[in-house]
Amino acid sequence: MAEVQTNTQSLGEMSQRFIEFIMMQAQNAALFLGQIPNPQTGKGEVNLELAKMFIDQLAMIQEKTRGNLTNEETAVIKNTLSNLQMAFVEVSKEMKEGTTEPAPAPKPESAEPAAETPEPPMIPQSESESRKKFTKSYGA
């Protein structure tokens, strides 16, 4: 049976964690909208498909938590979602006009194989047949 939290400090912490979660999702969406530079390349890269996924997840969270949030939580998710949706529309428009480039496709692996695990040495057939084979028995 689930416990009901009555401690106001715990509720405040949960509210803070919820807002941090919303902001983390929003940051991921902003990254894929090119608003935040990619930490690896230092450049803003656009991937509308992934940005849409994060925005849709926020919309789903908003819908599933409707009526269960504090006023502050409701305002944060509503404003965050509105801002991201507007940014998505703007970036989509820029992509169609050709003023923004999509993120580069991931580069295929190089022709040189990475440190692969070595294959076990081949055992001649006669030697493998002479080895004792173990089986597990469960009674009888």
Is 110 a member of any domain?
Answer: no
Q: Which of the pair, 133 or 97, is modelled with greater confidence?
A: 97
- Across the chain, mean pLDDT equals 79
pLDDT tens, 6-44?
555 688 899 999 999 999 999 999 999 999 988 888 888
Is 33 a member of any domain?
Answer: yes
Is 113 a member of any domain?
Answer: no
Which residue range forms the structural domain that includes residue 28?
8-97
- Report the CATH number that the domain containing residue 61 is assigned in CATH: 1.20.58
Is 54 a member of any domain?
Answer: yes
Is 107 a member of any domain?
Answer: no
pLDDT for residue 112: 46
Is 102 a member of any domain?
Answer: no
Q: Which residues contact 104 (CB under 8 A, 6 or more apart)?
A: 45
pLDDT tens, 76-92?
999 999 999 999 999 99
Structural domains in the chain (count): 1
pLDDT for residue 6: 57
- DSSP code, position 109: P
